[in-house]
């Protein structure tokens, strides 16, 4: 009998059209090819020509198809009809929605613009949304950096004019030793995976420092399960060891950093600790050729690392002296820190020796001539092939800013920044803080704000304070409480607005920020604040406008919902003015465009802002005749001019051949689409290392419009603006901090990196709460966005609390048991699982997997809502009372970054409550519950 084989088509046509755009399943912004069949998304693959991912696509990226078909997508504008939180809405037209928003916002703009608080979450259009807010005239604008990673960004920019991730990358082609600190797997996802693959194939060594061994740390050759919050101490112990053994790049320090810059060393001087400067403001060094103080950038200057200078009765010492005094101190020795950091002293010494060996004994040289800003030509480019990368794990602590600074100091003394094999900036970086704007907060009713909201302060004069010294901003950014809060403090907006401290607001306007759930500390407290009423029965926060593409937990607490599109249905601009997609060797930007049309009554949020701006007659959004200036966001992307010749997109300007600077090109978006959705301009040969000091790079950056003039600068091991705040706290100057903050400013705003214990350690009893509790973001999810995705839910449908072996045994727990976890603020009861590769005093879980019943169109019995949970219930935005009559913020005292990872808990075995605790009433969702199975066919 013959066997009948079925005839199978093993290579079916995947699509009848491919459209190229940019992924938005996380913030990496990979290029994607979207395969369409009969106008519907059939398949998504990576774009092999794209500079970010070169064809690589992660699980999230390919699951985008389920994101654009998710049942949780909002369908139409909504107006609240029941009480806040009831989920009772009626669908309204866009005209009605925008009329209502205008009715609320116009009187505010005309009389008290600061009564609008406009904050956006993880969107990528901040140069646009900040422009809108600036035009409105409110000082109350920021994005989510304050609760994410401002410590990392600000510490990098203040120290060396750039930071990790979007600002820079390891030199994957040359590095021989790569060290990761506190990196979650969803940040910089594909680029790091590709880089790790590259260096591992070459035999380079990877050292992972993280209390938790997952993801990147799981493939590290050496994993260091450090005690949470002690990274800064470990890093400074490495600095101690390198200094003690003389393993520093002294030539690099002398030429390119402020190590030789002179510091006023007279404690009685009102300028004590300030840098000595020439009349033109340039920092002064002693020139080895003349023995005289000279501006650092003069031709032929050879800065002296050791010479002191006495002038007008005052001794000035080089920064390097102060560093040696500080870090050679035995308190930073491996033996002194070992217990606290949880790493054997010998291991600390061994790692320092290994870093030094690779940096100096395995140094590399590229045969590439270059000329520095002093006019000296170098025959070769010398490389120290040790590179570092760090993210939220070290920055989301109350000592995070100084810890990130410490890591940069370590990189710099090794001479491994902007050299072959080290860490390299991506355009538009390097960019020192002086080139960034300062914060602006001057409000004039009916007029735009006096400048950009966010920026970099250089001393007390730049704080955002009113004439009476009170905070100008609702989040109290740029005040004495957190003077260098470069990204604002989104996590404090709702609690401050509720408390009317520093003042009350009228309208809270938010975009992509799930503040009533995983984006807030103290989740139930925030829900209470959003629903609280005053003596008249009116809401304490009178109006809430919210825009999101999905029925998230926040939707139920808004009064007006402006439904956004998904990322495949919209225009977007990944701009050099914002968070670009550049590589160390190239400037690059990209777009999104509607590769499919929305099938619902939704609009891209930025396009909505164009119309709302025109209705409010904001000057930047209105023509002289009063008509709407930009029809939509696409129109803005092409036609907006930020500075002469500079617009949101750098590519195909003018007649299509201009790059960086050029006139508006009406065909610009078409050119991007034809080019695969992106544009790349390579850094010329000879300009791609030593960028802050390399004449060729500086000239190229000016041509590209990244700077207006060459901006060579020194890395700031010693950050003088911090010293200016300390001086004020010591009583110098006219702008003075309140007395209760003086000691904290003196102690924490040290211009050289220090380590101090996380604040929670001194506000709770570490004996009673002996365990550290952390969250991590998984590779397969991006915050809460992935939890509704039918494919990704199958990877992370719930999130056990992982316990190390010691704690599992101590509490007699086994996988699947339940435990109650208590902090000083709250308690949760959750399922547990054993994980051996974990710091022995740390527990952790995946972030934002837990969902509230009724949200995201998930069924109430879904595992996210029954076995999933949030650690947020255990964390408060304020530290517990300490008996001094004050409630201190649970934030970094320098930048205000939320200290998510300072959390301490205690654990006890619990009987199974069947569902994770606490439970919340189910939300009534405007989109209902999705079907049990999601099936559809895109074609025959």
Q: Which is nearer to ligand SF4, 64 or 71 (CB)?
A: 64
Q: Binding segment for ligand SF4 among 57-65, 353-361, 731-739, 765-773 (CB under 6 A)?
A: 57-65
Strand-strand pairing, 386-390 and 177-181: parallel
Distance, in Å, from the CA atom of 382 to the CA atom of 28, rounded to the nearest integer, reads 31
**Is residue 781 part of the contact set for ligand SF4 (CB under 6 A)?**
no
Q: Which is nearer to ligand SF4, 26 or 808 (CB)?
A: 26
Distance, in Å, from the CA atom of 287 to the CA atom of 301, rounded to the nearest integer, reads 6
Angle at the Cα of 410 (from 407 to 413), degrees rounded to 5? Answer: 150
Residue tagged 């591992």 (tokens)? 200
Q: Binding segment for ligand SF4 among 50-58, 151-159, 358-366, 887-895 (CB under 6 A)?
A: 50-58
Q: Which is nearer to ligand SF4, 28 or 608 (CB)?
A: 28
User: Which of 608, 551, 597, 600 is CA-nearest to residue 570?
Assistant: 597
Q: Which is nearer to ligand SF4, 30 or 807 (CB)?
A: 30
Residue 591 Cβ, how far from ligand SF4 at the closest point, in Å? 14
What is the token pair recorded at 819?
A: 């435990």
**Is residue 23 part of the contact set for ligand SF4 (CB under 6 A)?**
yes
Q: Binding segment for ligand SF4 among 22-30, 847-855, 864-872, 906-914 (CB under 6 A)?
A: 22-30
**Is residue 122 part of the contact set for ligand SF4 (CB under 6 A)?**
no
Residue 31 Cβ, how far from ligand SF4 at the closest point, in Å? 9
User: Which of 21, 26, 28, 12 is CA-nearest to residue 44?
Assistant: 21
Residue 595 Cβ, how far from ligand SF4 at the closest point, in Å? 14
Q: Which is nearer to ligand SF4, 129 or 190 (CB)?
A: 190
Q: Which is nearer to ligand SF4, 189 or 338 (CB)?
A: 189
**Is residue 29 part of the contact set for ligand SF4 (CB under 6 A)?**
yes
> By the 8 A CB rule, do 820 and 884 touch?
no
Distance, in Å, from the CA atom of 573 to the CA atom of 125, rounded to the nearest integer, reads 7
Q: Binding segment for ligand SF4 among 58-66, 311-319, 710-718, 763-771 (CB under 6 A)?
A: 58-66
Q: Which is nearer to ligand SF4, 44 or 412 (CB)?
A: 44
Q: Which is nearer to ligand SF4, 139 or 168 (CB)?
A: 168
Residue 64 Cβ, how far from ligand SF4 at the closest point, in Å? 7
Locate all alpha helices (DSSP H) within 643-785, ordered by sequence: 668-674, 695-704, 720-729, 739-748, 759-763
Distance, in Å, from the CA atom of 461 to the CA atom of 449, rounded to the nearest integer, reads 18
Q: Which residue in 35, 50, 60, 392 binds ligand SF4 (CB under 6 A)?
A: 60
Q: Which is nearer to ligand SF4, 30 or 608 (CB)?
A: 30
Q: At what angle do helices 720-729 and 739-748 cross, to 10 degrees?
A: 150
Burial readout 411-424 (b: 16 or more C-beta within 10 A, e: otherwise): bbbbbbbbbbbbbb
**Is residue 53 part of the contact set for ligand SF4 (CB under 6 A)?**
yes
HEC-encoded secondary structure of 302-365: CECCCCCEEECCEEEEEHHHHHHHHHCCHHHCHHHHHHHHCCCHHHHHHHHHHHHHHHHHCCEE
Q: Binding segment for ligand SF4 among 52-60, 242-250, 334-342, 656-664 (CB under 6 A)?
A: 52-60
Distance, in Å, from the CA atom of 16 to the CA atom of 12, rounded to the nearest integer, reads 11
Evaluated on CA atoms 42, 192, 898, 210, the torsion sign reads positive
Residue 681 Cβ, how far from ligand SF4 at the closest point, in Å? 22
476-515: which residues touch ligand SF4 (CB under 6 A)?
none
Q: Which residue in 19, 21, 30, 486 binds ligand SF4 (CB under 6 A)?
A: 30
Residue 22 Cβ, how far from ligand SF4 at the closest point, in Å? 8
Q: Which is nearer to ligand SF4, 30 or 875 (CB)?
A: 30
3-state secondary structure of 613: helix
Residue 389 Cβ, how far from ligand SF4 at the closest point, in Å? 15
Q: Which is nearer to ligand SF4, 193 or 723 (CB)?
A: 193
Distance, in Å, from the CA atom of 64 to the CA atom of 319, rounded to the nearest integer, reads 51
Q: Compose the 140-179 pattern: x for residues touching ligand SF4 by CB under 6 A, - for all others.
A: ----------------------------------------
**Is residue 57 part of the contact set for ligand SF4 (CB under 6 A)?**
yes
Q: Which is nearer to ligand SF4, 92 or 792 (CB)?
A: 792
**Is residue 26 part of the contact set for ligand SF4 (CB under 6 A)?**
yes
Q: Binding segment for ligand SF4 among 25-33, 313-321, 322-330, 505-513 (CB under 6 A)?
A: 25-33
Distance, in Å, from the CA atom of 751 to the CA atom of 931, rounded to the nearest integer, reads 57
Instruction: Report whether the peptide linkage leading into residue 491 is cis, meaning its omega lies within 30 degrees of zero.
Output: no
Q: Which is nearer to ligand SF4, 255 or 592 (CB)?
A: 592
**Is residue 226 part of the contact set for ligand SF4 (CB under 6 A)?**
no
> By the 8 A CB rule, do 849 and 787 touch?
yes
**DSSP states of 63-118:** THHHHHT-TTB--S-EEE-SSTTS--EEE--HHHHHHHHHHHHHHHHHH-GGGEEE
At 85, phi and psi to the nearest 5? 95, -15
3-state secondary structure of 594: coil
Contacts of 384 (CB under 8 A, 6+ apart): 249, 358, 359, 360, 363, 414, 415, 416, 419, 421, 422
Considering CB under 6 A, how many residues would be counted as binding ligand SF4? 13
Whole-Å CA distances, 879 to 764, 841, 862: 9, 21, 34
Q: Which is nearer to ligand SF4, 194 or 366 (CB)?
A: 194
Residue 23 Cβ, how far from ligand SF4 at the closest point, in Å? 3
Q: Which is nearer to ligand SF4, 186 or 632 (CB)?
A: 186
C-alpha dihedral (914, 915, 918, 919), degrees to nearest 10: -120
Q: Which residue in 19, 20, 28, 69 binds ligand SF4 (CB under 6 A)?
A: 28
Q: Binding segment for ligand SF4 among 26-34, 674-682, 791-799, 813-821 (CB under 6 A)?
A: 26-34
**Is residue 25 part of the contact set for ligand SF4 (CB under 6 A)?**
yes
Q: Binding segment for ligand SF4 among 56-64, 90-98, 245-253, 334-342 (CB under 6 A)?
A: 56-64
Q: Which is nearer to ligand SF4, 58 or 457 (CB)?
A: 58
Strands of the 17-22 sheet, one edge to the other: 17-22, 31-37, 40-46
3-state secondary structure of 482: strand
Q: Compose the 287-326 pattern: x for residues touching ligand SF4 by CB under 6 A, - for all others.
A: ----------------------------------------
Distance, in Å, from the CA atom of 150 to the CA atom of 394, rounded to the nearest integer, reads 11
Residue 594 Cβ, how far from ligand SF4 at the closest point, in Å? 18
3-state secondary structure of 255: helix
CB closest to ligand SF4, residue no: 61
Q: Which is nearer to ligand SF4, 52 or 649 (CB)?
A: 52
User: Which of 476, 524, 468 is CA-nearest to residue 499?
Assistant: 476
| Beta-carbon count within 10 A of 540 CB | 16
183-212: which residues touch ligand SF4 (CB under 6 A)?
189-190
Residue 170 Cβ, how far from ligand SF4 at the closest point, in Å? 17
Beta bridge partners of 563: 548
Report the interface residues with ligand SF4, using CB under 6 A: 23, 25-26, 28-30, 53, 57-58, 60-61, 189-190
């Amino acid at each position: 009998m013959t066997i009948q084989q079925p005839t199978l088509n093993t290579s079916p046509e995947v699509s009848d059209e491919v459209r190229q755009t940019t992924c938005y399943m996380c913030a990496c912004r990979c290029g994607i090819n979207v395969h369409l069949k009969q106008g519907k998304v059939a398949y998504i693959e990576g774009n092999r020509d794209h500079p970010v991912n070169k064809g690589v696509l992660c699980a999230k990226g390919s699951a985008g198809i389920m994101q654009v078909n998710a049942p949780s997508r909002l369908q139409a504008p909504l107006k609240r009809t029941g009480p806040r939180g009831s989920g009772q809405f009626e669908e309204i037209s866009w005209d009605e929605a925008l009329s209502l928003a205008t009715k609320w916002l116009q009187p505010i703009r005309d009389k008290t613009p600061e009564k609008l608080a406009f904050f956006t979450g993880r969107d990528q259009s901040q140069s646009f949304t900040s422009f809108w807010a600036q035009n409105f005239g409110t000082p109350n604008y920021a994005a989510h950096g304050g609760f994410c990673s401002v410590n990392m960004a600000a510490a990098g920019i203040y120290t060396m004019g750039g930071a990790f991730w979007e600002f820079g990358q390891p030199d994957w082609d040359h590095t021989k030793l790569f060290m990761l600190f506190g990196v979650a797997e969803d940040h910089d996802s594909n680029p790091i995976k590709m880089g790790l693959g590259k260096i591992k194939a070459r035999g380079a060594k990877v050292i992972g420092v993280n209390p938790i061994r997952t993801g990147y740390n799981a493939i590290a050759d050496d994993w260091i399960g450090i005690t949470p919050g002690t990274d800064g101490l470990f890093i400074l112990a490495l600095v101690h060891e390198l200094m003690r053994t003389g393993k520093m790049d002294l030539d690099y320090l002398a030429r390119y950093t402020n190590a030789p810059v002179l510091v006023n060393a007279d404690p009685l001087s009102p300028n004590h600790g300030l840098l000595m400067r020439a009349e033109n403001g340039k920092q002064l060094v002693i020139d080895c050729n003349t023995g005289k103080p000279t501006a650092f950038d003069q031709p032929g200057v050879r800065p002296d690392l050791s010479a002191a200078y006495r002038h007008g009765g005052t001794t000035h010492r080089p920064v390097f002296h102060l560093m040696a005094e500080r870090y050679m101190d035995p308190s930073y020795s491996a033996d002194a820190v070992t217990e606290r950091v949880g790493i054997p002293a010998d291991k600390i010494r061994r790692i320092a020796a290994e870093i030094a060996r690779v940096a100096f004994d395995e140094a590399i040289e590229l045969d590439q001539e270059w000329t520095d800003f002093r006019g000296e030509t170098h025959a070769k480019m010398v490389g120290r092939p040790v590179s570092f990368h760090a993210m939220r794990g070290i920055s989301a602590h109350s000592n995070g800013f100084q810890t990130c600074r410490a890591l940069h100091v370590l990189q710099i003394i090794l001479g491994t920044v902007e050299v072959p094999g080290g860490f390299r900036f991506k355009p538009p970086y390097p960019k020192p803080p002086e080139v960034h704007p300062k914060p602006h907060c001057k409000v004039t009713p009916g007029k735009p704000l006096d400048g950009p909201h966010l920026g970099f302060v250089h001393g007390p004069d730049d704080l955002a304070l009113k004439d009476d010294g009170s905070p100008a901003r609702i989040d109290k950014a740029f005040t004495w409480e957190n003077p260098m809060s470069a990204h604002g403090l989104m996590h404090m907006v709702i609690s401050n607005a509720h408390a009317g401290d520093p003042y009350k607001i009228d309208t809270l306007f938010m975009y992509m920020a799930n503040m009533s759930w995983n984006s807030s500390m103290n989740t139930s407290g925030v829900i209470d604040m959003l629903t609280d009423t005053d003596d008249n029965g009116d809401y304490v926060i009178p109006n809430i406008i919210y825009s999101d593409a999905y029925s998230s937990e926040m939707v139920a607490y808004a009064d007006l919902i402006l439904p956004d599109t998904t990322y495949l249905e919209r225009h977007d601009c990944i701009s050099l003015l914002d968070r670009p997609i550049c590589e160390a060797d190239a400037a690059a930007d990209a777009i999104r465009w509607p590769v499919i049309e929305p099938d619902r009554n939704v609009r891209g949020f930025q396009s909505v802002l164009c119309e709302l701006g025109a209705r409010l007659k904001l000057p930047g959004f209105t023509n002289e005749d009063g008509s709407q200036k930009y029809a939509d966001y696409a129109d803005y992307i092409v036609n907006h001019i930020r500075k002469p010749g500079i617009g949101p997109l750098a590519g195909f300007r003018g007649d299509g051949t201009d790059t960086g600077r050029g006139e508006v090109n009406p065909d610009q978006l078409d050119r991007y689409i034809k080019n695969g959705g992106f544009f790349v301009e390579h850094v010329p040969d000879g300009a791609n290392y030593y960028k802050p000091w390399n004449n060729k790079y500086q000239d190229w950056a000016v041509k590209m419009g990244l700077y207006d003039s060459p901006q060579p600068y020194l890395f700031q091991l010693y950050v003088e603006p911090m010293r200016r705040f300390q001086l004020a706290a010591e009583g110098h100057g006219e702008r003075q901090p309140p007395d209760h903050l003086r000691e904290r400013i003196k102690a924490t705003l040290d211009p050289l990196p220090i380590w101090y214990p996380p604040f929670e350690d001194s506000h709770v009893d570490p004996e009673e709460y002996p365990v550290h509790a952390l969250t991590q973001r998984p590779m397969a999810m991006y915050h809460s966005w992935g939890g509704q995705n039918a494919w990704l839910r199958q990877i992370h449908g719930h999130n056990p609390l992982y316990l190390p072996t010691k704690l599992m045994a101590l509490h007699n727990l086994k996988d699947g048991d339940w435990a109650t976890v208590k902090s000083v603020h709250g308690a949760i009861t959750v399922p547990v699982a054993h994980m051996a590769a974990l710091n022995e005093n740390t527990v952790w879980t995946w972030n934002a997997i837990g969902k509230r019943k009724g949200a995201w169109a998930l069924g109430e019995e879904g595992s996210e809502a029954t076995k999933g949970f949030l650690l947020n219930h255990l964390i408060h935005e304020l530290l517990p009372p300490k008996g001094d009559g004050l409630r201190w913020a649970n934030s970094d005292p320098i930048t205000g970054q939320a200290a998510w990872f300072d959390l301490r808990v205690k654990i006890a075995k619990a009987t199974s409550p069947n569902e994770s605790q606490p439970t919340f009433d189910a939300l009534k969702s405007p989109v209902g519950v999705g079907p049990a199975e999601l099936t559809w066919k895109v074609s025959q």
